[in-house]
Amino acid sequence: MSVHYRSPLALARLAIAQAVDAAGASAIDGYEETLDGVGGTVLESAARFAGEVLSPLNRIGDRSPARLEADGMTTPPGFARAYRMLRDDGWVSLAAPTGCGGQGLPMLLASAVTEMWAGANLSLAMCPELALGALEVLRAHAAPELIERYAARIASGEWTAAMDLTEPGAGSDLSLIRTRAERQDDEWRLYGRKLFISWGDHDLTENIVHFVLARTHDAPQGLKGLSLFLVPKKISVHGRLEPNDIRALSVEHKMGIRASPTCLMALGERDGARGWLIGGVSDGLACMFTMMNHMRLGVGLHSLGLAERALQLARHYARERIQGHDASGAACTIIEHADVRRMLLMMKALVHASRCLAYTAAATLDVAHRSADATVRTRATRRLEILTPLVKAWCSDVAVEVASLGVQVHGGAGYLEDSEVAQVYRDARIGPIFEGTNYIQAQDLLSRKVLRDGGAALGELLEDIERAARALAAASTDPLALLREQLLAGTQRLRAAVVSLIARAGEPDLIGATACHFLHGLGVLAGGWHWALAGAKAAAQPQGAQSRAVMATAAFYAAHVLPRVPMHCSVIEGGTNVLAAALTEDI
C-alpha cells in the first residue's frame, strides 16, 4: 500500500529562488516581497491540501472513473467535495488577475501549487487548470460584456472552462475542423462535434464555459478560416440558467487520467448551440494560442508533479523492500544495490531539473507581463517562446522516463495495478500527446523559434548556460568540474548543430527528422544549466546536508545525463540522410 503524496516544499523553495534569479524577476516591484510574505503560507497550505484532500482520492478516481449517465456526468466519489473546498479556499483565483476578481499572485507561485495538485491527483487538478488561459483570452480578445458576464465566475471557480478544439477526423490538424457557426443577430449558432474535450462535462459546477473553434459560413478553408466562440453549457434566461444546445455524447475510457471526463461533445442537435464570438471572424487561431500557451506550461507542470510522485513512490519502496545481501552477507533493502541507486538518482536529477526549468518559465511569464521596462518585457517574451515548448515537451517526456524507472524500481510489484506507480506511469503518458504532441512542440521550437531568427534567441539562452558553467570551479578535483566541462562542450556542439541546420535549409524532411532530437538536446542542456546554478550556490555553503546532496546530484547529472547532448547533435548532423532515404514501404 502506497503512502500519500508529500509536497517537496524544500526543493520547491529552492527552485522558486533559483527561477527568480534566472528570469530576472527580482526587478519587478514587490515581487520578492510577495513570494517571501504570502508565498510561504500559500505553499504550506497547498501542501496540506494536496496531501490530505487530493492524494487520498487519486486511487479512488482511477478505480471509479467518471461515467456518463442519463442525467449527466458523474465524477468519482469525493471529487465534488474536494472541488468545492478548492474553490471555496480561493485556489482557482490564485494567479487570476485582480480585475477579474482574482488574487493576482505571481504565476511562479501558482506553478508550484500546480505541481503539488498534479502530483497528488492529476485528474482533478486538470479541471481548474484552464481558468487562467480562459481569462487571458477573454481579457485580450473578448467584448466587455462577455468579460463582465463570465470572467469573475471563471476566476472564482464558480464555473469551469473547457477548450473545444479538435474533432473526429481532425486530430492535431485543426485545418480540418468542420464545426460551423451561423450568425443570428448579436450571437451565433454552432453545429458540430468536438472530440477529446477534457472536463467537457461534469457535476462539479453549475455551468461550464466552452471555448470552441468553428468555421463561419463564408470563411476560407484551412487554419485562416477558424474563429473562436464562447459557448456556455447553460445560458441565463430571465435570471435562470437554462440548458444550451451542447451536451456530452460519450466519455472516453482512457489508459490514464481515468477520473477526468474526456468527452465527445455535440453542438447544435436541435436549434444550434448559442455562442458569442471572441475576437474577430477568422481570428480564432491567434485567440486560441493565447489559451494554448498557458495550457502547455500547465502540461509541463502536471508532468513534473507526476515525475515527483513516481520518485516518492520508488524511493519509499526501495527503502522498505528487503532483497539480496550487502557485502557482509546481511539481508538489505534494495536501495543498497548500486543499480537501484542509479535509477533513483536519475529520477531525482531529472525531476529537479524539470522543476527548475518549469518554474523559470513561469517567472519569465511574470516578467513578460509585469515588468515596467518594455525592453525587458520584449526580451522575456522572446525567452518564453523558447522555454514554453521545452517545458511542455521535455518535461513531459522526462515524466514518462521517470515513471518508467519508478516501475522498474518496484520490479514485478510495479507492474501490478495494485501499485500506484503503475497509475502514475499511465497518467504520465498523456503529457507528450495532448495540447499539441511533442513533435509539434519540437517542430515549432526549431522552425519558428530558432531557425527563423537565425538562432538569435537561442544564442541568448546558450550564453546564460555558458555563464552559469563558467561560474563553476575548473579544477579537475572539484566535484562540479565535469558539469562545467560538459555544459561548455554541449553548448558549443548545439551551436554547431544549428549552423548545420541553417546551411541545409532546403533538405527534404529536415525539420521532421531533426526537431525532436534538437528539443531534447536543448532540454538536457537547460536542465544542466539549472544544476549548475544550484551547484554553484551549494558550493558556496558546502557544509550542510542539503548542499552536499545538491552537489552530488549535480555531479550525477553531468556524468549520466549530459552525455545525451552529443548523441542528439550527432543525429541532427548526420542521421537525416538515412531517414530521407527510407521509403515508406521499407518501414
Contacts of 148 (CB under 8 A, 6+ apart): none
**Which helix (H) or strand (E) covers residue 543, if one does?**
none
Nearest residue to 114 (alpha-carbon basis) of 373, 299, 265: 299
Cα atoms in the 13 Å half-sphere on the side-chain side of 118? 28
Q: Which residue intervals of 24-94 are DSSP H helices?
A: 31-36, 38-49, 55-63, 79-88
Contacts of 577 (CB under 8 A, 6+ apart): none
Q: Which residues of 37-63 are buried (b: 16+ CB within 10 A; e: fewer)?
A: eebeebbeebbebbbebbbebbbebbe
180-184 and 208-216 beta bridge pairing: parallel
Q: What gap in Å lies between CA 330 and CA 43, rounded to an integer?
A: 42
The CB density around residue 153, as the number of other CB atoms within 10 Å, is 19
Q: What gap in Å lies between CA 303 and CA 308, rounded to an integer?
A: 9
Instruction: From residue 104, give the alpha-carbon distance in Å to each of 45, 109, 161, 370, 469.
Output: 18, 11, 19, 11, 35
Instruction: From residue 279, give the alpha-carbon distance in Å to each of 142, 214, 435.
Output: 6, 13, 21
Contacts of 197 (CB under 8 A, 6+ apart): 162, 163, 164, 210, 262, 263, 264, 265
- Cβ pair 68, 248 in contact under 8 A: yes
**Which helix (H) or strand (E) covers residue 207, if one does?**
none
Instruction: From residue 202, give the alpha-carbon distance in Å to each of 431, 466, 561.
Output: 22, 49, 42
Residue with cell 472513473: 65
Contacts of 538 (CB under 8 A, 6+ apart): 546, 547, 548, 550, 551, 554
Residue with cell 471555448: 211
Structure letter (DSSP) for residue 329: S
Q: Taking the mean position of all CA atoms in its chain, how far away is CA 75? A: 23
| Active-site option among 252, 420, 435, 466 | 435
Is there a catalytic annotation at residue 507?
A: no
The burial class, CB within 10 Å (0-12 / 13-18 / 19+), for 372 is: exposed
**Cell of residue 180, nine digits:** 460551423
Q: What gap in Å lies between CA 259 and CA 123, rounded to an integer?
A: 6
Residues noted as catalytic:
435
